[in-house]
A and B are shown apart, each in its own frame.
Chain A
């Protein structure tokens, strides 16, 4: 069975500090991976997607970046956090038929 794991579960970070969120998927080779963001009280917004190692496409510009260093790993990062980056970050992978399966999410509070 496929599993998706995100880390950290939650973080409180200062404005201007760097951030790195990780996502690992096991049990699926060459998955399509996605980063979604959910602001408090907001809807889910796709940020990035990746169909293969080393290839990442940006969907929304939020002063964030993403990388796919390994087939089973997807990283979301920024060198300088903004207050507006607070929210719930979800990694997802796609199976056949366009269904997305989400990880447990990483909750970020920027102060």
Chain B
């Protein structure tokens, strides 16, 4: 079945430095959409980025990600991390065309930004 892999459970970065959260996937569907969701402490997840176009950079709130189907990746990056970026980040894959449009989440990467 389809799966999303987030290899790092915790990423710690110093404020002002760049950060990269890795996401790779396995899918059997040709038409797919990818998401990054962010979940702040005691809050519900909210969508941060979305993409379904190969090799096209998507940006929002200073974060960016590019879907690379050749390497099955959708890494999240930011050039300068802020303290307020500390949160749990989920990479997710939408099974387009399947019943209910199921969203499959990775296990999440906790980003900790330190002063």
Contacts and interface: CB of A to CB of B under 8 A. Distances in A.
Contacts of A104: 43-44
B100 A51 contact: yes
Contacts of A59: 100, 102
Interface in A88-111: 90, 94, 97-105
Tell me the interface secondary structure of chain B in the complex. Answer: loop
**Which of A99, A103, A104 counts the most B-chain CB atoms under 10 A from its CB?**
A99
A57 B44 contact: no
Nearest to B101: A98
Tell me the interface secondary structure of chain A in the complex. Answer: strand
Contacts of B102: 46, 49, 59
A102 B100 contact: no
Interface residues of B, number: 22
A15 to B, nearest CB: 25
B33 interface: yes
Nearest to B108: A43
Interface of B: 33, 35, 43-47, 50, 52, 90, 92, 94, 96, 99-103, 105-108
12 contacts: A32-B101, A43-B105, A43-B108, A44-B92, A46-B103, A59-B102, A97-B50, A98-B33, A98-B94, A99-B47, A103-B44, A105-B44
Interface of A: 32, 34, 42-46, 49, 51, 57, 59, 90, 94, 97-105
